[in-house]
A and B are shown apart, each in its own frame.
Chain A
Amino acid sequence: MNAALVSAMLGLGLAVIMVRRRSVAILLLAAQSLVLSIGALSLTGGRSGDSLVASFVLLSKAIVLPLLLYALIRRTREVRLVVATTSPLMRLLGAGAVVLCAVTLVPPLGLGDAHTEHAAVALVLLGITIVVARRPVLFQLLGLIVAENGLSLLAVSVPGGLSYVIELGALFDLALIVTVAAAFAHRIHSQLGTGDSELLRGLRD
């Protein structure tokens, strides 16, 4: 995939971990999914089946899922922003360290394109970092999708592409997980009056 598109995906992933507002984070994620889909479409080489699947994924990930998430934040309004445990700069430094780890530690995965391999693994790690570092449940959900975009980046770059069954199956699973997670986020907000996951720390031994 085009190196600029891959770098843009990584940059947007880094931005998700920094921003405070949920609506901005959703926009960034939609942009990341859009960049991924443009890259995927450019790799189809005009094959109609591949283009159709890539277009369907584009519609789902860059439009439908962000709209669902936006509807969720409309229904779970926060009286005030959830206080972050670390500053944006610290989060960026942490995320930068994660990306650096991916670049230096990940061995060749066989793709023959080290930039894409490193970016894909870095996005998976960034997704995990977002889940760990951000307190609002919606950001944690966004972390899952950032990690999934990293996987999609690697999947669309497989020579000849992955089977439609896997791509569509993974998309179906993602939609299922996001729907269930959105239901959880809504329920957590109704129960606690906020989407702050710090309040969900009662179970201990």
Chain B
Amino acid sequence: MTDLVPILVAVVPGIPLVGMALALIARTPRQADLLALATALPAAAAATALAATALARGGQPALRGQWYLLDGASGVLLAVIALVGLCSFAVSPAYLRTSGRSWTTAARSRSLYYAALFLFWAALLAVPIVGNLAAAWLIIEATTAASALLVAFSGRREALEAGWKYLLLTTLGLSVALLGIIVLAISQANAGHHDLHALDWHALRGAAHALPKDSTLVAFVLLLAGLATKIGWAPVHNWLPDAHSEAPAPISALLSAALLPSVLLIAWRVKAMLEPSVGSNTTHAVFIAFGLTSILVAVPFLWQSLPWKRLLAYSSLEHMGVIGLGIGFGTPLAIAGVVLHVAGHALAKALGFYAALPLLRIDPAAAHRAPAGVVSESPSTAAAMGVSLLALSGLPPSPLFLSELLILLGGVAAGDPLISAIALIALALGFLGLLHALIEGVVGERARHRRRARSRAERPIVALTAILGSGLLALAAAGLLLPGSSFVETLARGAL
């Protein structure tokens, strides 16, 4: 299977790019839907095969080519992006049927939607496997252009505001990150390494000891500050709640479950490669500061009565904080938690956003206010929302319960019991906030003037709840095997 890796590395982002071209030539909405799904299936299969190859290698060193790097973290992200991407394509026709006209005619809008979605997906699939820091930056920047169009797809004033804010803030953030990359390139050039491969992950890791400490520290801070904007870490998270809540639900799922952790992976790789020069105390402090701040900023919003997608957006802020904290602690226990958290959060959050599709169909006003008593109108939608919220809140047997426990214990093992204690209290408050939202929104008294859901329209969300809910349970079981495994030990060593 390893022999096929170079081919798969090219095919995985390549198929979605073919899909983008096909979407633009589709003549009817039905044709566009069918072409999109028919292209998404082989792309997801190829990405899953590549992910399986990476994961099957366990603790072995990463596979490297001229342009790619495939390690355990790549495997986890690829699997997540493939699954959530495929699900987003599957539910997109349901969204598009009710979205109507956006920036252009309905038929043309659909082609543009799929073209932008394929471009976004191709870029997302490339991020975890790209073997070079500068190339990773170029691909992340490309995700901004494609996804900003998707965020504002509905063409409504609020969506335009969210899309514009997202475009400006993340582009400026990435400019700051590029400044950091150029500073690193100057250091490498001064050491005689001029070509593009001087910025390969393993080349930087190898040269880190020889890099000048002061300018490398500047580069590290600039890179992290810039990437933090795209990850949505507080205090540079302003675009996140708006973009997640205004984007079409299938796009919100990809933004939260795939984009944010993919960029976080790049931040993690930056930490791993520059740590020998910058020092572990500094890298840990920066990640822990971003992680803890994000959790503390997010929790009060989880107690507010917010529209469903906006609540999920603040939950993303909280969970990106948890993952940042885990990477900051950096102990094998914490890294086991990080791996589990990335996968568990992706499944639970994607299900939550997909549940917004039937929710907004039966109660369009739920786009602007908190939902209420959904169970009485649509038990299937309420079940999806319930599974998502309970998993996100970390209630056992959610894999996020185990992952958060591992990260907090990893913090104690790293000698940061106070940080772990503060995070534990904040997460407990967040848990109560989400439980409150569950009781009020899903089970509580229903709002008036709502359409009763038709059973046929509910079939997709029933299927997704079954698939993603089973995935969450499987992850919870698999998570028990992670601590102490060679897979996690290798990741914790930061071996590239």
Contacts and interface: CB of A to CB of B under 8 A. Distances in A.
A203 B179 contact: no
A35 interface: no
Nearest to A166: B134
Contacts of B186: 109-111, 154, 158-159
B164 A200 contact: yes
Contacts of B84: none
A197 interface: yes
Contacts of B425: none
B10 interface: no
Interface in A150-202: 151, 154-155, 158-163, 165-166, 169-170, 172-173, 176-177, 179-181, 183-184, 187-188, 191-192, 197, 200-202
A104 to B, nearest CB: 15
Interface in A100-136: 107-111, 120-121, 124, 127-128, 131
Interface residues of A, number: 48
B194 interface: yes
B306 A188 contact: no
B218 to A, nearest CB: 6
Contacts of B304: 205
A173 B134 contact: no
Contacts of A180: 145, 148-149, 167
B138 A166 contact: yes
Contacts of A127: 172, 175
B176 interface: yes
Interface in A49-63: none
A176 B149 CA distance: 11
A99 interface: no
Contact of A187 (B145, B155, B183, B190): B155
A192 B157 contact: yes
Contacts of A179: 145
B152 A173 contact: no
A28 interface: no
A164 B85 CA distance: 32
B218 A128 contact: no
A47 B120 CA distance: 37
Nearest to A112: B190
Contacts, number: 134
B215 A109 contact: yes
Contact of B152 (A109, A128, A147, A187): A187
B160 A154 contact: no
A110 B215 contact: yes
B164 A128 contact: no
A176 B190 contact: no
B318 interface: no
A42 B419 CA distance: 53
Interface in B159-190: 160-165, 167-168, 171-172, 175-176, 178-179, 182-183, 185-187, 189-190
Contacts of B242: 203
Contacts of A176: 141-142, 145
Contacts of B190: 110, 159
B366 interface: no
B135 A169 contact: yes
B109 to A, nearest CB: 13
Interface residues on B, range: 35 or more
Contacts of B145: 173, 176-177, 179-180
Contact of B218 (A107, A158, A191, A203): A107
B212 interface: yes
Contact of A108 (B148, B175, B215): B215
A137 interface: yes
B246 interface: yes
A37 interface: no
Interface string B126-162: 0000000011001001101100110010010110111
A154 B182 CA distance: 7
B196 interface: yes
A140 interface: yes
A151 B158 contact: no
Given A166-B196, A184-B148, A202 B214 contact: no
A41 interface: no
B215 A140 contact: no
A140 B168 contact: yes
Contact of A144 (B135, B142, B172, B306): B172
B237 interface: no
Most buried by B among A108, A169, A180: A180
Contacts of B149: 180, 183
Interface of B: 103, 134-135, 138, 141-142, 144-145, 148-149, 152, 155, 157-158, 160-165, 167-168, 171-172, 175-176, 178-179, 182-183, 185-187, 189-190, 194-196, 212, 214-215, 218, 241-242, 245-246, 301, 304, 306, 310
Interface of A: 107-111, 120-121, 124, 127-128, 131, 137, 140, 144, 147-148, 151, 154-155, 158-163, 165-166, 169-170, 172-173, 176-177, 179-181, 183-184, 187-188, 191-192, 197, 200-203, 205
| Nearest 8 A/B pairs, CB to CB | A163-B196, A160-B194, A200-B161, A169-B138, A173-B141, A176-B145, A110-B186, A159-B189
8 contacts: A151-B175, A158-B185, A161-B194, A187-B155, A191-B160, A200-B164, A202-B161, A203-B165
